[in-house]
Amino acid sequence: MTSAQSPFPPGSYPVVIIGSGPGGLQTSYFLTQWGIDHAILSRDEAPGGMFQRYPLFQRLVTWTKPHALDDRTTREYERYDWNSLLGTELENRALVPGLMDGSSYFPSRAEMHGGITEFATRAGLQASYGTEWESTRKTEEGFTVTTNKGEYHTGLLIIAVGMTEPWKPSNIEGIDQAPHYVDVARPTDYAGKRVFIIGKRNSGFEIADALLPWVKSMVIASPRPARFSVFVKSTAAARARYIQPYEDHVLGGGNLVLDAAVPRIERHNGGYLVHTSGTTHPGDLVIEADEVIAATGFATPLNDLPQLGVSTFYQGRLPAQTPFWESASTPGIYFAGSITQGAIGLKKYGIPSNSAAVHGFRYNSKVLAAHIAVTHFGKQPQRRTIEPKDLVEYLLQEASSAPELWNQQSYLALVVTFDRKQGISDEGFWPLSHFVDAGGEDAIALTVETDDQGDIHPAIYMRSGGSVGEHLLESHPLHQFGTKENRTHLASVLQPLIGKQEGSK
């Protein structure tokens, strides 16, 4: 595409989004639905973001079930399709399963990338591709973004560039000599070699799993014992599909999983000597390896935003954010996509949100677009009136099936307000941490939560008279929460707020 044909030439826009991966595109889609003019800038030449390159070994860790309990055209199906972007129109919904070849319920990288591209095409989402974000400065009106194509002026900036910058810890001497995960060669290049992998999260186990048929021996090491999703009930831990290298270790197959810090790496006879210090089993070991791979994670490429006052945490790898994903220190800069994992929320039982993955952050984008529309552009919130007699059934039905609540457990909440004049209103989905801390009118927030025993149940947070209380409902073996016990319990919890409504008539 030539610059003459390129959409969004340099100039002024009410909102500028940087990034054309799933986070940027999903946010653009919902801003468009709210009628908010905006530009998308992308250094890439096509939509898709990181899925144009990663995961390295070509298959995702997030599932899409082509055949699920609910039909693909329904909202409820989103719970089983973690990879499609959200569309309101039928033709824009659930695009990834239609591209899958049936060999796995984890889409291949190409199938995922195809789904994103198809969504952008069908929804008519455009971007100024080949546009490199060079620098940023504050202005009276907001921000000016300087690119290789010129300057963009905007009141609101949305950063959706992913947590995509390769990162290595500085406390491993010689770490610069080890290639990062992103620089790993083809598995066949490791044939017959001794490989040392630093890191026991998904990227470390992804590489280990891919190299199993090729390496002579393999050591996977980090200070903390391996944690797997099935035990800690979180997608943030290493996923079950990568557990094979761990089984090899446990059964004495020749590959090893070590709990050890790595203070130093040095070159030796064309290979490496890796110095380790055990943690769960104290003691120092020096391990010879032909190859070392740093699967040590990623940081957010924030460019010069820290110089503009954007504060960070997690060793500078994530921006500090409000519950609505705005920079905690520089108002007017918002974040979308996987960077929204920096707005941590309540993280009950230590279980994080799914904001690091598409099936979580696509809902954050929907909430973010609504928040921006209402607070910055004076749009009217979308509300729906609920009759008091229907409230209990409605809440239990949503708890049983709402994909927003299931995919963003304890993080996004369905909010219902109780106003003496307007009655009972469904306010849509909000960040739970905003609801419980911001104060305001009488209201409830409904979530789905998993506790430390793996029990999945609905929870109600009730705000009344200025304080917020928590009420946990019962789980159900089939996750169908509309039981007699829950209806009775929920009616009792809601009665004070419904009673105020009826008393005011």
Partner 1 sequence: MRTDGDITQILSGIGLFTDLTRPQLEEIAHTFDEQYFNPGERILRKGFTGTGFYVIVEGEASIEVEGRAIARLGRGDFFGEISILLGEPPSTDVVAISPLTCLVLAGSDVQEFLEGHPKVMFRILQAEAAKLRSTVQ
Nearer to partner 1, 132 or 313 (CB): 313
Q: In this chain, which of 7, 169, 254, 381 binds partner 1, going by CB under 8 A?
A: 169
Nearer to partner 1, 109 or 233 (CB): 233
DSSP β-ladder status, 284-289 and 143-147: unpaired
**What minimum distance in Å lies between the beta carbon of 277 and partner 1?**
4
Residue 223 in contact with partner 1, rule: CB under 8 A: yes
Nearer to partner 1, 206 or 326 (CB): 326
Sign of CA dihedral 434, 435, 439, 440: positive
Q: In this chain, which of 135, 279, 464, 483 binds partner 1, going by CB under 8 A?
A: 279
State how far the Cα of 373 lies from the Cα of 381, in Å rounded to an integer. Answer: 8
Per DSSP, which regions of 271-381 are E strands?
271-278, 284-289, 291-294, 298-299, 312-313, 318-319, 333-335
State how far the Cα of 405 lies from the Cα of 396, in Å rounded to an integer. Answer: 12
Residue 53 in contact with partner 1, rule: CB under 8 A: no
Residue 437 in contact with partner 1, rule: CB under 8 A: yes
**What minimum distance in Å lies between the beta carbon of 379 and partner 1?**
25
Residues 6+ apart with CB under 8 A from 464: 442, 496, 497
Q: In this chain, which of 263, 271, 306, 332 binds partner 1, going by CB under 8 A?
A: 263
Backbone angles phi, psi at 271, to 5 degrees: -120, -140
Residue 309 in contact with partner 1, rule: CB under 8 A: no
Nearer to partner 1, 239 or 434 (CB): 434
Buried residues in 405-422 as b, exposed as e (16+ CB within 10 A): bbbbbbbbbbbbbbeeee
Q: What is the CA radius of gyration of the chain?
A: 24
First and final C-alpha spacing in the chain: 62
Residue 424 in contact with partner 1, rule: CB under 8 A: no
Calculate the alpha carbon distances from 40 to 34, 82, 132, 500 in Å. Answer: 16, 24, 12, 47
Scanning 5-13, 14-22, 160-168, 237-245 for contacts with partner 1 by CB under 8 A, the matching segment is 160-168
Residue 277 in contact with partner 1, rule: CB under 8 A: yes
Residue with tokens 């009673």: 499
Nearer to partner 1, 38 or 348 (CB): 348
**What minimum distance in Å lies between the beta carbon of 316 and partner 1?**
5
Q: In this chain, which of 299, 456, 493, 498 binds partner 1, going by CB under 8 A?
A: 299
Residue 155 in contact with partner 1, rule: CB under 8 A: no
3-state class (DSSP) for residue 73: coil
CB 185, CB 361: distance < 8 Å? no
Residue 348 in contact with partner 1, rule: CB under 8 A: yes
- Give contact residues for partner 1 (rule: CB under 8 A): 165-171, 175, 180, 222-224, 259-261, 263, 277-280, 282, 299, 311, 313-317, 320, 322, 328-329, 342, 344, 346-352, 410, 433, 436-437, 449, 451-452, 468-470, 472
